[in-house]
Amino acid sequence: MSAGDPPAPLKGARLLFSLDPAVSYLNHGSFGAVPIGVQRAQQRLRDEIEANPHKFYTQGMLDRVVHTRRHIAAFLGADPDGSALVPNTTAAVSLILQTLRFGSADEVLLTDHGYGAVAMATRRQCRRVGATARTVALPLSASDAEVISRVRAALRPGKTRLLIIDQIASATSATFPVREIAAAAREHDIPVLVDAAHVPGMFPVDVSAIGADFWVGNLHKWAFAPRGTALLAVAPQWRRRIEPLVVSWEQDEGFPLAVEYQGTIDYTPWLAAPAGLFTLRTLGWEAVRAHNAALVAYGQRVVGAALGLAPADLPQPATPEVAMRVVPLPAGLASTPPEAIALRLLISDKLATETAVNAWGGRGLLRLSAQVYNRPEEYDRLAERLPPLLASLTTPR
């Protein structure tokens, strides 16, 4: 296989999913796709609940949650006693923002690659107390050294009370050297929250080695867990200070049980998550990572070429195992969030293809994902049909 060839499909992988065969699903990054075997594992848990709800919730349920948490924490290299299962990354961010108790003289530092809902939650919390949310710009083409330099220069010791940094940015698919950034912030005693929503299952991670104060990643994207499964890891010095967003019966137990136990919420996504990790291992995690990275690189290349972009115009991730890549759209298209949503819906409707479209830095970015159920011909078909669709949006009537 030459450097320009797409990877061979993983045998039988497509049959593990219940996706509509009439749709090219090139957007695994947004909501994931749950394998059929994991769906069935979760349904068995739901059946168990409905057979005897009282028994499920009162006899051993918390022990099962703890066991699951330990299994997931081991997979991610996190301390199981310093981690908590949570619904998703954005819920964990709100939890941390509530815990830190900012004052009117404080600020939270974000980057312009940050997830929109995280930025919204940060600004809301800052407004409540009169604090400031400030953003540092990181060029899409920036090297790791430049990223570290820019973030370091933006820190304000004594004023910056929290730095929120993505490990893999949702809108741009950029990867950031979070271990080095956490070390730089630690020099000034500035806490760091790593938004690693896309990390679990996409590439190996040793959470404890990163050295962040807070790290949170979703397992329902690339680790094949049911939606509503994420792990929040908290450094030892913060664990006694964590304040759950909702107070329930395990409040006096402290972190992590006070965060995990929320009465009659649905715990089945968490308890079925190990079945997702089993699926990943059965397929061969190294094979999955290699397939996805090579296929999305192929997709970026063919779609970019169809839009007249040279290889140098296509942003390349610092971490080659990333399974998402972006293709810059022609100037004037999807340059605002409403326009990006409209274009995404149009691609879905007219081309029977699911993608992500984001407005970033005044330009539209088409984000492609690759998962084991995808085929090269899906990207070829998008490359063939997307340019006429985009041209119809700019042609005078």
pLDDT of 10 reads 86
pLDDT of 237 reads 97
Looking up tokens 């330099």 gives 149
378, pLDDT greater than 70: yes
Between CA 109 and CA 121, with CA 115 as vertex, the angle to 5 degrees is 65
Q: What mean pLDDT value characterizes the chain?
A: 96
Q: Kind of pairing, strands 24-25 and 353-354?
A: parallel
Please report the DSSP string for 163-213 in residue order. EEEESB-TTT--B--HHHHHHHHHTTT--EEEE-TT-TTTS---HHHH--S
Q: Which tens digits make up the pLDDT trace of 114-149?
A: 999 999 999 999 999 999 999 999 999 999 999 999
Q: Mean pLDDT lowest for which of 29-43, 53-67, 224-238, 311-325?
A: 311-325
- Rounded Cα distance between 382 and 277, Å, is 31
5, pLDDT greater than 90: no
pTM of the full predicted structure? 0.96
Contact 289, 203 (CB under 8 A): yes
2, pLDDT greater than 80: no
When pLDDT is averaged across residues 350-377 and rounded to a whole number, the result is 97
When pLDDT is averaged across residues 43-64 and rounded to a whole number, the result is 97
For residue 388, the SS3 value is helix
Work out the pLDDT band at 396, boundaries 50, 70, 90. low
- Rounded Cα distance between 302 and 298, Å, is 6
pLDDT of 1 reads 47
pLDDT of 395 reads 60
Give the ranges where the chain is alpha helix by DSSP (H). 28-31, 36-51, 53-58, 61-76, 89-100, 116-129, 144-154, 178-186, 207-210, 257-260, 268-283, 285-306, 337-351, 376-394
Q: Which tens digits make up the pLDDT trace of 193-205?
A: 999 999 999 999 9
Q: Which tens digits make up the pLDDT trace of 221-242?
A: 999 999 999 999 999 999 999 9
397, pLDDT greater than 70: no
375, pLDDT greater than 70: yes
220, pLDDT greater than 90: yes
Q: Which tens digits make up the pLDDT trace of 133-191?
A: 999 999 999 999 999 999 999 999 999 999 999 999 999 999 999 999 999 999 999 99
Q: Which tens digits make up the pLDDT trace of 267-303?
A: 999 999 999 999 999 999 999 999 999 999 999 999 9
